[in-house]
Amino acid sequence: MKIKKYLVAAITAAFTFSAQADEGMWLLQLMKQQNSIDMMKKQGLKLEADDLYNPNGVSLKDAVGIFGGGCTGEIISPEGLILTNHHCGYSSIQQHSSVEHDYLTDGFWAKSRAEELPTPGLKFRFVHRITDITDLINSRIRAGEVNEYEAMTVPFLNKVAKEELEKSDLKGKPGIEVRALPFYAGNKYYLFYYKVYNDVRMVAAPPSSVGKFGGETDNWMWPRHTGDFSMFRIYADKNGEPAEYSTENVPLKTPKFFPISLKGLNEGDYAMIMGFPGSTERYLTQSEVRQRMTAINQAMIDMRTVYLDVLKKYMRQSDKTRIQYATKFAGSSNYWKNSIGMNKAIVDNNVLETKAEQEKRFAAFAQGNPEYEGVVDKIDALVEKMTPALRRTEYIYEALNGAIEFGCPPALMDKMKQAIETKNDSLFQATKKQLETMYDDIYNKDYDPEVDRAVAKAILPALAKALTPEELPVFYQTIEKEYKGNYDAYVDDLFDTSILGSRDNFDKFLKKPSVKAIDHDMATAYSRAKLEAIKTAATERGKFSQELNLLHKAYIRGLGEMKQSVPSYPDANFTIRLTYGNVKSYNPKDGVHYKYFTTTNGILEKEDPENPEFTVPAKLKELILKKDFGRYAMEDGTMPVCFLTTNDITGGNSGSPVIDGEGRLIGCAFDGNWESLSGDISFDNSLQRCIALDIRYMLFILDKLGGCSHLINEMNIVE
């Protein structure tokens, strides 16, 4: 179906928002059509549209990129220096850490280029070009090459992206990746060309007592006192092109980087964020929000509570285990707490009631229009049918894929059986090599089988309580029949006797491989049952996907027509977006006021030497007590740490630059506030806040605690 002219009008119409409406993750490529630049100027922007995004020249867009697999980073010097969050760089810091070199605890400060650490696997992606391919996709739909649903699927869009790259002038250029994506639920399509650099080196990271100060207690909370930053550097070949790591590579000469402002912040100051928000679901119906709460969020809460409790126990007992599981714990706990907060905020902020009111208005708008009439009712009916399968999928996946790491891929073992039965030596050798790789993947430096065993003993009974016996994988029948319901005994046998259970077991099997050993292998049977249970539930849920996606496409198109005079923005999908707002305090509840910034005074107020989340490094404490803040302090001599803005952000925006009206860096976004964790579903103008690290605190830590004046000197700092 062609995009309606009404949706195009909704996308390109002029703003009619009041100045307080900071909702919106706006597409850079539509700024001029939507006249958003005018609204930004009313709030304090001093730049022009081409300064932010210029498809034919250099702009601020060229100083922002995707850091790793799920964060944003910005360039802060002409030598390819990247600033991002500590929690974004956390897995890289952990990758370089050991008991002997515990950079998580002690921090890392490269005092020269020679000390910057190559970080295999870490990439930085710049957006090189954005192309509207809506007409191309719609022409293929009209020609019958693909239907509306298939046009939104990854395989088809990957095919289109590959074809377009083949026709492009960028074909064969180093580091170019291309990705096609649907927007507005398939009512618009864009093609993104990325330039990818994969020689990225670790430069600086504060100790976790700074970068994670407050830990899980303060996560998603305000007031905040976390120095959440880390630094990396992009290296390239002598021509500035992406290249594999080499000692011959040099720091990338970037065409654009952010100057840094020491001017300071006041309530109401303009603030703009450019980054890569991961995912929002602002166009869900009321029934889908309930589904999110009960089927997705609750599964994450229930299963991760069990998993994280086990990890906490073992991480407290051993520095080696703490380092091994630091990244896994941080990644799991972040959205565990987010799910708790989201479910609470949905209720507290009357999100269900807001959705119901929107659906009531939509029903009135749709009356007599067959394209939209009954769309929400049809969505609700599908949601009711698919929720049990979705809930089952989420619980099983969280427990058996997200928590337990051990297993043995049945498809690989089936190939080994075939090789043994047919006496096919070439197949045997190839499969043997794959199994050896699998073994090495399991028993890597960040895995402890005894921790995984303890997780399994805790999570299997927890999953049994969450689901009915009929919903559980079939290996639960083995536990009941052969182990009399004794989960510990089953888990011990699983880990002790399986082919991949130990090096001895694995070597013994390879010396004398047999079909019988495979048929009796517990890990293979366990993994087969797990995968079959997930596949069955996913297939059942998938029966409704096509119809549901097409209904959403119509629903979002209709919502666009309902508010033609107001431009709409698509849900986040980890593509570059711009959001603008202001520095602003807020009132979370009656009688409580949160000011818009925190200072180092709060670090000392929170200090608790007995709690690892609130320990303060001795040197930092000394600097604070002496007020040795240098030129980074505020006019009254105090040192700012974090601040609040009204910018619309979500996961993926972590590490995004917070920019003032003149295009200068004033902060680094790293979190949202507890009271508005329903924001991914429904934005609340009065409560939604972005928590950002004040750039002055970053510079203070880098200079005074890290002793990295050479990094300060390569930046363009505006007093």
Residue 137 located in a structural domain: no
Q: What is the rounded distance in angstroms from the CA atom of residue 462 to the CA atom of residue 458?
A: 7
- Pair (264, 399) in one structural domain: no
Q: What is the rounded distance in angstroms from the CA atom of residue 261 to the CA atom of residue 269?
A: 13
Among the residue ranges 102-106, 184-188, 442-446, 488-492, the one predicted with the least confidence is 442-446
Q: State pLDDT tens for residues 319-374.
A: 999 999 999 999 999 999 999 999 999 999 999 999 999 999 999 999 999 999 99
Where are the extended beta strands (E) located within 22-86? 26-27, 64-67, 71-75, 81-84
5 pLDDT above the threshold of 80:
no
Whether the link from the prior residue into 388 is cis, omega within 30° of 0, is no
The length of the chain, given as a count of residues: 719
Q: State pLDDT tens for residues 215-273.
A: 999 999 999 999 999 999 999 999 999 999 999 999 999 999 999 999 999 999 999 99
Residue 151 located in a structural domain: no
In the DSSP assignment, the letter for residue 639 is: -
> What is the CA angle 213-608-224, rounded to 5?
35
Q: What is the mean pLDDT of the chain?
A: 94
Range of the domain at 378: 284-405
- Pair (696, 587) in one structural domain: yes
Confidence of residue 566 (pLDDT cuts 50, 70, 90): low
Q: Do the Cβ atoms of 16 and 566 come closer than 8 Å? A: yes
- Tokens linked to 391: 């809930």
304 pLDDT above the threshold of 80:
yes
**CATH number (domain holding residue 707):** 2.40.10.120
86 pLDDT above the threshold of 50:
yes
- Pair (213, 264) in one structural domain: yes
Q: What is the rounded distance in angstroms from the CA atom of residue 716 to the CA atom of residue 32?
A: 29
- Tokens linked to 579: 């959001």
- Pair (236, 383) in one structural domain: no
Query: Mind spelling out the 3-state secondary structure of 264-317?
Result: CCCCCCEEEEEECCCCCCCCCCHHHHHHHHHHHHHHHHHHHHHHHHHHHHHHHH
- Tokens linked to 612: 């690892």
- Tokens linked to 370: 């067959």
Q: 621: number of CA atoms within 13 Å, CB side?
A: 12
Residue 502 located in a structural domain: yes
Torsion angle defined by CA atoms of residues 273, 278, 283 and 286, in that order, rounded to the nearest 10 degrees: -120
- Closest to 288 (Cα-Cα) out of 218, 233, 337, 359: 359
Q: Residue type for 484, please?
A: K
Q: State pLDDT tens for residues 35-81.
A: 788 889 999 999 999 999 999 999 999 999 999 999 999 999 999 99
Q: What is the rounded distance in angstroms from the CA atom of residue 232 to the CA atom of residue 185?
A: 36
- Pair (111, 217) in one structural domain: yes
Residue 302 located in a structural domain: yes
20 pLDDT above the threshold of 80:
no
Residue 101 located in a structural domain: yes
Confidence of residue 565 (pLDDT cuts 50, 70, 90): low
- Pair (247, 370) in one structural domain: no
Residue 141 located in a structural domain: no
One of 97, 654, 656, 678 is an active-site residue; which one? Answer: 654
* Domain stops at, among 522, 543, 564: 543
- Tokens linked to 190: 């864009």
Residue 446 is among the residues annotated as catalytic for this protein: no
- Closest to 13 (Cα-Cα) out of 41, 40, 26, 32: 32
66 three-class SS: strand
In the DSSP assignment, the letter for residue 633 is: S
Dmax (CA) for the chain in angstroms is: 81
Q: State pLDDT tens for residues 380-399.
A: 999 999 999 999 999 999 99
Residue % of the chain over a pLDDT of 90: 92
4 pLDDT above the threshold of 90:
no
717 three-class SS: strand
Residue 228 is among the residues annotated as catalytic for this protein: yes
Which pLDDT does position 9 carry in this prediction? 40
Q: What is the rounded distance in angstroms from the CA atom of residue 126 to the CA atom of residue 307?
A: 36
596 pLDDT above the threshold of 60:
yes
Confidence of residue 469 (pLDDT cuts 50, 70, 90): very high
- Pair (586, 679) in one structural domain: yes
Q: State pLDDT tens for residues 274-297.
A: 999 999 999 999 999 999 999 999
Residue % of the chain over a pLDDT of 70: 97
- Pair (339, 482) in one structural domain: no
Q: State pLDDT tens for residues 648-705.
A: 999 999 999 999 999 999 999 999 999 999 999 999 888 999 999 999 999 999 999 9
- Pair (385, 425) in one structural domain: no
One of 87, 128, 225, 552 is an active-site residue; which one? Answer: 87
Confidence of residue 585 (pLDDT cuts 50, 70, 90): very high
Q: 561: number of CA atoms within 13 Å, CB side?
A: 18
In the DSSP assignment, the letter for residue 663 is: S
- Tokens linked to 396: 């099983």
pTM, two decimals, is 0.92
- Pair (498, 603) in one structural domain: no
338 three-class SS: helix
- Tokens linked to 572: 């986040």
- Pair (434, 481) in one structural domain: yes
Residue 329 located in a structural domain: yes
More confident of the two residues 589 and 223: 223
- Placement of tokens 């549901």 in the chain: 548
> What is the CA angle 517-523-524, rounded to 5?
65
Residue 568 is among the residues annotated as catalytic for this protein: no
Q: What is the rounded distance in angstroms from the CA atom of residue 155 to the CA atom of residue 164?
A: 14
Q: What is the mean pLDDT of residues 569-581?
A: 96
- Pair (79, 216) in one structural domain: yes
Residue 438 located in a structural domain: yes
Q: How many domains does the chain have?
A: 3
21 pLDDT above the threshold of 60:
no
One of 22, 199, 218, 228 is an active-site residue; which one? Answer: 228
